[in-house]
Structure 1
Amino acid sequence: MGEAIVVGITDAAASRRAVDWAAQRAAERRQPLELLAVVGGATGAVGEGPIVEAALAEARVRAEVEASRIAGGLDVRTRVERGNPVTRLVEASEGAALLVIGSDYRGPGTKASRGAHGLRIAAGAHSPVVVVPDFDVAGRSGVVVGVDGSPAGEKAVAFAAAEADRLREPLVAVSVWTPLEVPRNMGVYPAEYLENLAHLTEESQAISLAGLRSQYPDLEIVPTVERGYPSQIINELAAKARLAVVGSHGRGALARFLLGSISQEVLAHLGTVTAVVR
C-alpha cells in the first residue's frame, strides 16, 4: 500500500470533481485516500465558539458523506482541522503521494473566484499537487508536459511519463522557444537566429527525454517544439488532453509560496486536470 492521496474538500462543486479524480487514481494504484476539510476564518472574537463548533460539525458530516459515496473497495480516511486552509493543506502534503485540490475555473470565457489560495498551496506543497477544474475532461486523450530542461522540469517529465504509461496515454512533451523582442531599428529577426533557437530547444528537449523509451518501452512519446509563449501553448494543447504537468520553480524560504510565472499562468487558465511538480 503506497502513501496516501490527500484531497482538500469544501462545499464547492469543484471539490466533488477533485474527490472523484483522486478516488479513481487511488483505486487504480491501490493507495489510501484521505479527505481533509479545514475550517478557517476564526479570529477569536467573543461569541465565535459556537459558530466554529457548528462549522466543524458540518465539515465532519461533509467528509463522512463524501467518504461513503466513494468508499467501494477503497481505504478512505477523513480528517477535519481548524486553521488556515493553505497552511493545513501544505502541512498535510508532507509525506503524501499527492495533494489534490479543486478549482472553480470552468474554462475560457468564464470567471473564477478562487483567489490566490490554490496558487499558494501548489507552490508551498511538499508533494506534487493536482488541480482539478470544474469541467468534464472525459473522452480526452494524452498527457501534456512542459519541458524546459530545469531541475523542476525534469521532475515534471518523470511524473508525466509515469502517469502516461500507467494510463496508456501518449506523452506530449512540449518545449517552447521565445525570441528576444526585436529592437525597433532591426525590423525583423535574422533567419539564422530563429533557426538556432529552434535547434537548441530541440536538442535540450531530446536530452530531457533521453532514457524514457528504455524505461517505458510501450510509451508513445510525441516531441513537440513550438515558437510562442509557454503557458499559452501548454494550455492550448492541454485543452484536448487528459492531464497536464508543469514544474514549480519556487525555491528556498522566500520563494516557498511563489510559483514560477509559467506554472502560475497555466493554473490561472486551466486547460485540463493539471499537476504541479517540484
Structure 2
Amino acid sequence: MERIVYVNGAYVPESEAKVSIFDRGFLFADAVYEVTSVLDGKLIDNAGHLARLERSCRELGIKMPTTAEQLTSIQQTLIEKNHLVEGGIYLQLTRGNEGDRDFSYQDAIEPTLVLFTQAKQLVDSPKVKHGIKVISFGDIRWKRRDIKTTSLLPACLAKHAAHAAGADDVWLIEDGYVTEGGSSNAYIVTQEGTLVTRPLSHDILHGITRAALMKLVQDTGVAIEERLFTIEEAMQAKEAFISSATTFVWPVVAIDDQPVGDGQPGSIALQLRDIYIQTARAHS
C-alpha cells in the first residue's frame, strides 16, 4: 500500500505529493522540522517536540499555520492511515513560497507544512545489542544549533565520513570539546560513575529525549554533571552513549577506533534506555 502523506491541508499518496520548486525550504533550507517517535501506534514525547517546533518558529519568524492540537490530530490521522505501529513521524515547516527565488522575504508569506510517517524498528534495534562506533569530526555548523532547522548538510557530510571510515556516526568537536552527535546528544559516564553531558546553550540542540532522560536519571541514583568534555576524556570514560527521538539511547562502544570501557554496551546506558521505553509506553 502506498504511503499517505500530508501536504498543506491534504492527505495524498506520496507519489502525488508536490511542493513548489520556489519553496524557500527547497531553495534556502529556510525551514524547521521535528521527528516524533511512535511506539505501539502512539506518539512519544510529542508535546515536547511541538513546543520546540513553536520555539524554532519564533526564533526564525516563521508563521505557525496550525495549533499544536491540530498538528497532533494530523499526526494521529497519518498513524491510522498508514497503520504505523513503530517508527516516527517527520514534520517539516518551511517559510513558504513567494513565486520566485529571492534572499529577502515578506513576513506575510504563507508557510508550507509537510508530514510523513516512517516505519522503523526502534525497540529491538541491533545497535543496542552491539553498540555503535563513532569518529571525531570538526563541527562546522552555524551558531544556532538550538534551532532545529533543515540546514543539515554539515551533518550529512559528517555521517558520510563516518560510514566511509567504517563507523556508525560522529561526535562533533568544537574548540576541543564535544558538542553532540551527528543527529543526537552525547553523554559519557566517568570512571567514578558520574553521567556527564554538555549543558544547554545555542551550541547544541535541546533534545526532547535528553530532557526526559535527565529527569529519569535522577531516580537511578547516578550523579549528573552538565559540563563540557573533550574527546580525550570520552575515550577514557567508563561508558558513552547518545540519545535522540528515534534511537532513544544507543551505547557508544568505540571512539576513533579506541574502545570505550570494555568495548561493550554500558550498563547505565542500557538501564536508562529500558527505563525510558517503559516510561514512554506507560504515558503514551
The TM-score bracket by the shorter chain reads under 0.3
With the length of structure 2 as denominator, give the TM-score of the two structures: 0.25
With the length of structure 1 as denominator, give the TM-score of the two structures: 0.25
Which structure shows the bigger proportion of residues in helix conformation? 1
Q: Which has the larger radius of gyration?
A: 1
